[in-house]
Amino acid sequence: MTAMKIGVLAMQGAFAEHIEILRQVGVEGIQVRLPRDLAGISGLILPGGESTTMRKLIDRWGLREPIRRLIDGGTPVLGTCAGMILLSRHIVDGDEPVFPVLDMDIKRNAFGRQLDSFEADLAVPLLGERPVHGVFIRAPVVERVGAKVDVLGRLDDGRIVAVRERNVIATAFHPELAGETRFHRLLATMASDHDEPGEGTERRHHPLRRDGGGRVSSEPVGRDATGAGGWAAS
């Protein structure tokens, strides 16, 4: 059986770490630098880096329209840190959006400079009871989300740092730098569902939850999957 292939935008940032995490979950990671590298992939990761530089390179290498077509066609995408910024519909500090598919407002460098980087454990109920360990490096924060955006994770102070809307997941932190595999497993599950949606059914943009024993649960996921209620960060 041919291994699933998930592309990783390989311009800057921790793309090698994402590819290693994909390997750990049994997925082949493909470095994406040109439009031709998108052929045959079942999902895509937009990693961290410097969002302004990434924007310029995306346009220089002719990737903006091909990636947007993939997203619009339902291909699952994971954006981390700068990748989250690239996927946001509105950037608070004025930059034009690149792939404006997540209905939310995002603020860049919300926690300060590189020296203000930190690590934190946070609850992401969709991924199970064990907390997710995230690395925050010049991280953004979500200031508002729309009605169709699922809030997956918040910091202890209520600020939103992980979301999903349809086929797009985004985190303000770096799960790959902490060795966290569950977001990549979720992406692979979504990619499998997109590739093989099931006979006689529509494609499911949201994979079903699995319980603590690894079994699929039919329990629906609410709009605020953290259980915190509400829509905007407090």
The DSSP output letter for 198 is: -
83-101 per-residue burial string, b: 16 or more CB within 10 A, e: under 16: bbbbbbbbbbeebebbbeb
Side-chain half-sphere of 144: how many Cα atoms within 13 Å?
Answer: 7
Question: Comparing C-alpha atoms, which of 134, 120, 51 is closest to residue 87?
Answer: 51
Q: What is the dihedral of CA 214, 219, 224, 228, to 10 degrees?
A: -80
The DSSP output letter for 159 is: -
State both tokens at 127.
């991924």
Return d(Cα 79, Cα 134) in angstroms, integer. 14
Residue in the structure block whose two tokens are 């079942």 = 42
Residue in the structure block whose two tokens are 């996921």 = 221
State both tokens at 154.
């918040």
142-172 per-residue burial string, b: 16 or more CB within 10 A, e: under 16: bbebeeebbbbbbbeeebbbbbbbbbbbbbb
Active site residues: 81, 174, 176
